[in-house]
Structure 1
Amino acid sequence: MLSESSAATVRATLPAVGAAIGEITTVFYDRLFEAHPELLRDLFNRGNQANGSQKQALAGSIAAFAGALLERPDERPDAMLGRIAHKHASLGITRDQYKVVHTHLFAAIAQVLGEAVTPEVAAAWDEVYWLMANALAAIEERLYAEAGAADGDTWREYRVESRHRETDDVLTFVVRPTDGAAVPSFRPGQYVSVRVELADGARQIRQYSLSGAPEGALRFTVKNVGGTPAGEVSRHLHERVREGDVIPVSAPFGDVFLEDGDAPLLLASAGIGCTPMIGMLTHLAATGSRRPVTVVHADRAPRTHALRAELDSLVARLPQTDAHVWYEEPQGPWPAERTGLLDLSTVEIPAGTTAYLCGPLPFLRAARAQLLAAGVAAADIHYEVFGPDLWLAQG
């Protein structure tokens, strides 16, 4: 994939580029948004820009991609590329935008590294960039073709049919296409993008897992994100979007979804990470699945556990399914072994289990380590993380 001459140059310069990649990406985004302020206003997640997580993800993915080319020159890092491509497709990224990124990224590299960027070094890293960019663009174009939107415009208008409060800070929305046409097909565990126009005129986009499949509609569940910065889009959806309102929603995307088969399943989630798991359980129940399923969930307290009643109902409908829930702050009688953080050592995990995880990064790391210790193969552990995937970017 990477030419021999460029591979030698990249190998020699990767430590220096890796050490400076954080500064490079900061300069890159400054230059990009100065030249194209509309990208920050209408495309990039302003919250992730403010807290620095998007910069970390970009920096890590470039360095990790270069490292993968050197370590496994005959293999393409498809897991990384697929994860990024699905997120890009949910935003409507197209091939021409990679040229804009290239212009400002390489200007940032030159600005930060100065004279160290010789023509040879620039050519080598240019090759790395276009190997990654062209591979991503090709995957994204395939995803658009599958969605019936070759130009990357997968947006449709949906009317909010209902909104249901799950907890104090979680709402479930059911939306139906305004054109009366069928909803797009999707795989259990995938997400859609939702675009809203905020008070300042910005059109911000966020992704939400599909938590069910009502007939002729889509259902997604949204936690009102607090903290600093608070979630702009989640707050808008909670406070401003009512039944009857129309919102743009993308076609479903996502590289983590329930695969067909008969292997035992483990669905592990924390907090609002329960949403794709409820989507998977809904599918299993609707298809009359008899697969052995173990559901594990960790939450702050019963009052914060979204979709709790639905979890109980779905488990009751599936003949070989059991659920284990941990609460850090139980209310009323609760087993001591299910109090505190998730502990999979107390759960029987059948041989050959395929696991799906969703939640914050510390939870994913802990759950994955426990699954590996229990003998689950690394290749059989799949995860979804909300926001920039800093774990994947670390290689």
Structure 2
Amino acid sequence: MLNEKTIAIIQSTVPVLEKHGLDITKRFYTLLFSKTPELLNLFNHANQSQGRQQTALANAVYAAAKHIDKLETILPVVKQIAHKHRSLGVRAEHYPIVGQNLLQAIQDVLGDAASEEILQAWGEAYGVIAGVFIEVEAGMYQDTEQKEGGWADFRAFRVERKEKESDVITSFYLVPQDGEAIASYLPGQYVSVKVEIPGEEHTHIRQYSLSDVPGKPYYRISVKREEASASKIAGKVSMYLHEQVKPGDILRLSAPAGDFTLNLEDTRPAVFISGGVGLTPLVSMIETLASTNSGREAIFIHAAENGAIHALKQQIEELAGRSAQISAHWCYREPTTEDRERNAFHKEGYIDLAWLKEIIPVKDAAFYFCGPVPFMKAVYGYLKEWGIPAADIHYEFFGPAGDLDAE
């Protein structure tokens, strides 16, 4: 444990981290990859280039410093990150490397302000924080490997079939190459997919939510083709999966991971709100509710550009058609002529609080949402404005965690 003097020194650096945290983490990753380029095989290069990974780490370091005297308060965040680390293959031996480069980054950015006393305190604090991560992740590795059908690291899966769900989203049905059992999972969890793309120096790993109900002899992931635009670069893995991977090919998968999961013990209504490909974990959740025949009310709300982009729509509408307890509502930003002729949507434009209040009968419910960050910020703001308790608001970022309260 840290002594009071070390805790005081760490807490004194909180204002500095708030101001310079992003500069420190940018410097950290530059150092890390220059000294240990093999770690580029574990990181999402797109998130690096867009600054999302640096921002997420800066937020984590800031939270650790702020709560250094009560690290148990950040344990939920530790577990969330640990799930990601386990699915990527992060191991205990990586932590000393990270610590050395983080301290060097602090010194490089802060210069003379990073006194020997501050660096020593942060070295001690990092050792404690790293120890928490290592312990939590070791338990996750053990539980995953010992679980029926479970495994450590990455396992070979064969693409049994590809199924186009919309103009931009395709589902991949994956079965184990060895023909053995596969681990079950909690609705909402994801797998990491490791690929070696021809011409690429490093392997690439991406997380994709499992988009089907657990308990089947395959895993299904539904992947959006991320094409290049004026504001973003093309998704290397998604483009590779869409354009080059075909039935019979082999992909390597981690065992399922993630803490964004459906609480099956809650009997209150469940409200699922998704934007774009963010519907994938929520489809698994509502499919699971429907399969349990619990009688629990479920409301599925999805926003898409139009019907051509809207994936898995028929699957949800069939659930709603079979059960009076399930309802589905679609919001299209720019519906096509065909959408209008078929009355294929319920609201034009964007989801707003007034519409949510119209279609959600009660506030006493569990709310789950996922989608692009601007979409999530909007939904989060609506739920807070409506007075939904924080304990009833559940969400997942695709990629490094962000801050929905941030401007």
TM-score, normalised to structure 1, is: 0.93
The one of 284, 287, 293 aligned to 1:288? 293
Residue of structure 1 equivalent to 2:27: 27
* 1:289-321 CA-partner distances (Å, limit 9, x unpaired): 310111111111111111111111122233311
Q: State how many pairs are aligned.
A: 390
Contact kept, 8 Å, 2:329 with 2:346, in 1: the verdict is no
Cα distance change on mapping 1:366 and 1:392 into 2, 3 Å: closer
1:382 to 394, 399, 407: 394
Q: Deviations 1:28-52 (Å, cap 9, x if unpaired)? A: 1111111111211x11111111111
Residue 289 of structure 1 contacts residue 318 of structure 1 at CA under 8 Å; is this kept in 2?
A: no
> Aligned equivalents of 1:348 and 1:218: distance in 2?
31
Contact 1:167 1:304 in 2 (8 A): yes
Match of 1:60 in 2: 59
1:257 aligns with 2:261: yes
Moved more, 299-308 or 348-357: 348-357
Match for 2:11: what amino acid? Answer: R
**Which residue of the other structure, out of 335, 338, 348, is the alignment partner of 1:339?**
348
* Kept in 1: contact 2:268–2:296 (CA 8 A): yes
**Which one-letter code corresponds to 1:125 in the other structure?**
W
For residues 375 and 393 of structure 1, the distance between their equivalents in structure 2, rounded to whole angstroms, comes to: 15
Please give the residue correspondences for 1:1-395 in structure 2 after superposition, counting only pairs within 5 Å: 2-40=2-40, 42-69=41-68, 73=70, 75-148=72-145, 153-199=152-198, 200-213=200-213, 215-227=216-228, 228-261=232-265, 262-331=267-336, 332-333=340-341, 334=343, 338-343=347-352, 344-391=356-403
| Structure 1 gaps, min length 5 | none
Alpha-carbon distance between aligned partners in 1 of 2:245 and 2:79, rounded to the nearest angstrom? 32
- What is the DSSP-based 3-state SS (H/G/I as helix, E as strand, rest coil) of the residue aligned with 1:158? strand
Say whether the 8 Å CA contact 2:330–2:346 is kept in structure 1.
no
Conserved 8 A contact 1:157-1:177? yes
What is the CA–CA distance in structure 2 between the aligned matches of 1:2 and 1:351, rounded to whole Å? 43
User: 1:61–1:392: 8 Å Cα contact kept in structure 2?
Assistant: no
Q: Which one is further off, 207-216 or 92-101?
A: 207-216
3-state secondary structure, aligned to 1:76: helix
Contact 1:192 1:209 in 2 (8 A): yes
Q: Encode CA deviations 1:12-41: one digit per residue, 9 max, x unaligned.
A: 22212332222211221111111111211x
CA RMSD in angstroms, aligned pairs only: 2.1
| SS class of match (2:170) | strand
**Aligned-pair identity (%):** 38
Quick check: 2:164–2:170 contact (8 Å CA) kept in 1? Answer: yes
Cα deviation, residue 336, structure 1: 9.5
Cα displacement string for residues 99-134 of structure 1 (whole angstroms, at most 9, x for unaligned residues):
110111111111111222222211222233233222
Distance 2:30 2:273 in 1: 38
Cα distance change on mapping 1:128 and 1:234 into 2, 3 Å: same
Change (3 A) 1:374 1:103: same
How far apart are the structure 2 equivalents of 1:37 and 1:342? 43
Contact 1:161 1:175 in 2 (8 A): yes
Distance 1:79 1:376 in 2: 20
Native 8 Å contact 1:349 1:374 kept in 2: no
- Code of the aligned partner of 2:335: P
Which letter maps to 1:250? S
Change (3 A) 1:74 1:388: closer
Greater RCO structure (CA 8 Å; 6+ sep): 1
The question of whether the paired residues in 2 share the 8 Å contact of 1:168 and 1:304 is answered with yes
SS of equivalent to 1:383:
strand
Q: Secondary structure at the match of 1:107?
A: helix
User: Do the aligned residues in 1 keep the contact of 2:331 with 2:345 (CA within 8 Å)?
Assistant: no
Q: TM-score, structure 2 length as denominator? A: 0.91
Determine if contact 1:69/1:76 at 8 Å carries over to the other structure: no
Secondary structure of the residue aligned to 1:322 is strand
Q: Does the 8 A contact of 1:86 with 1:253 survive in 2?
A: yes
After superposing on structure 2, the runs of 4+ consecutive aligned residues of structure 1 that deviate more than 6 Å are none
